[in-house]
Amino acid sequence: MPESAEGAPLVLDVEEPLAAPAAGDAAAPRRDPQSKAHHIDACLTSAVEYRKSAGFERCDFVNQALPEVSLEGLDLSQPLIGKTLGAPLMIAPMTGGIERAHVLNLRLAAAAQRHGLAMGVGSQRVGLESEERAAFFRVRSVAPSILLFANFGVGQLAKGWGVDEARRAVDMIEADALYLHMNPIQEAAQGGDVDFRGLAARIKVLCTALNKERIPVFAREVGFGVSAEAARLLIDAGISGIDCAGAGGTSWSKVEGICAKSERRRKMGMAFGEWGIPTATAIRAVRSVSTKIPLIATGGLRSGLDLAKAIGLGADVGAMARPFLVAADAGEEALEAFIQDTLLELRIAMFGIGAADLDALRGTPHLREIDHETPRTRPLG
C-alpha cells in the first residue's frame, strides 16, 4: 500500500516530498518505496488485525447428511472477465516495487499459476514513477496465464492521472485488468491524499476509455468495506467489477499507525483502527445493489470455510492478503500447504451442503445467519 506518509513532521497534512515529482504529476510528491518494506514487516505481525470480525462466524452452513455429491468430483472452476480460474481464490494486491516484495510476489505468482488463482500486485505508483522500480512488479515470467490485476489508487486520479497512466500500469505487468483502490480512511489517517471530490466522474471517464480498449476496471476498497451507496456510484461510473474488501482482517488504519513516525500519527491510525464495514456485510451490501456485477470479497478471510461462506453470501471470488503474505514469507512449502488446505476446506464445506459447483454454493439455501455471539475463530499467527 501504497504510500505511507512516514517521515511526516508533527504538523498534520504536510508531507515531505522525497524526490522530484514525475512529469505529468506535478502536484504529487514521490513517496519512499521503502515504506513498502515497513508495511510488509508490520503485516507480518498480528498487531495489524482488527478486533472486530469479518462476520463469517455469524453465518452457519446447515449440514446435509446425504449430500448426494462426491468430494473428489466437485467443480471449483470459476469464470471471471474472460479467464477461467482453477478455484475461486485470489491473492489480494499487496506489494511490489522493491526487491524483497518482488521475491514474495514471484513466489505467490508461481503458486497462483500452479493452482489457477487470480492475483493482484500492490499499488504501482512507484513503478510508474521509476522504471527501476517497475521491474520489481513484473511476475509474468513465472505466471504466464494467471488472471493478473494492475493497481493504483483513486487518489492519483484526483491529481490528474488518467488513461495514460492506467494503460502504462497494465502494460508494465502485462495485466488483464486494472484495480483502482479506494482508501479514504487510510489516506486521512496517514496524512496522504484527502481530496476525493469529483472522483466518481473521473472514474467514469477512465472506465469509458479503458472499456473501449477492453481493459476491465475493478474498484476495490483496501479493507474498510464498500457500502451499497458506494457500489451504486461505482456501477453508475461503469466499473467492470468490485472488490468490497471489508473489515475484520488486516486494518490499514492500524498498519499506518504502527508504521507512523510521529506519535500523533500513530494515535490517529489507532483511533480509526476498528473503522470499517465487516466483509460479510459488505458482500450483502454490494449484492443488494447488483446481483450481476462481478464481486471479489477480501478482508478477514482466514480459511477455506470463510471462503465458502463469502461465496455462499454472493461473492464470485474470495481473496486473502495477510494469510498469503505470512505463508509466502515462511517459504514455498508453507505457501503450497496453505493453498492446498484452503482449497480442501472449501471442498469439504461444499461437500457438507451438497453443492456440486460454485453456482450451487452461491445459490445455496443451506447458509443461515445465527444470532448468538461467538468469539472470533482462528486469529492469524
Ligand X SMILES: Cc1cc2nc3c(=O)[nH]c(=O)nc-3n(C[C@H](O)[C@H](O)[C@H](O)COP(=O)(O)O)c2cc1C
Binding site for ligand X (CB under 6 A): 1-2, 39-40, 43, 92-95, 122-123, 151, 181, 220, 222-223, 245, 249-250, 298-301, 320-323, 325
User: Which residues in 339-357 are b (16+ Cβ under 10 Å) and which e?
Assistant: beebbebbbebbbbbbbbe
- Rg of the chain over all Cα atoms, to the nearest angstrom: 20
User: Which residues in 144-162 are b (16+ Cβ under 10 Å) and which e?
Assistant: eebbbbbbbbbbbbbeebe
Locate 118 and state its grid cell: 487470480
Locate 83 and state its grid cell: 479467464
Rounded Cα distance between 53 and 315, Å, is 18
Return the sign of the alpha-carbon dihedral for residues 324, 327, 328, 332.
negative
Min dist CB 9 to ligand X, Å, is 24
Q: Are 246 and 275 in contact (CB under 8 A)?
A: no
Q: Which residues have a Cβ under 8 Å from the Cβ of 361 and sit 6 or more positions away?
A: 308, 311, 312, 349, 350, 353, 355
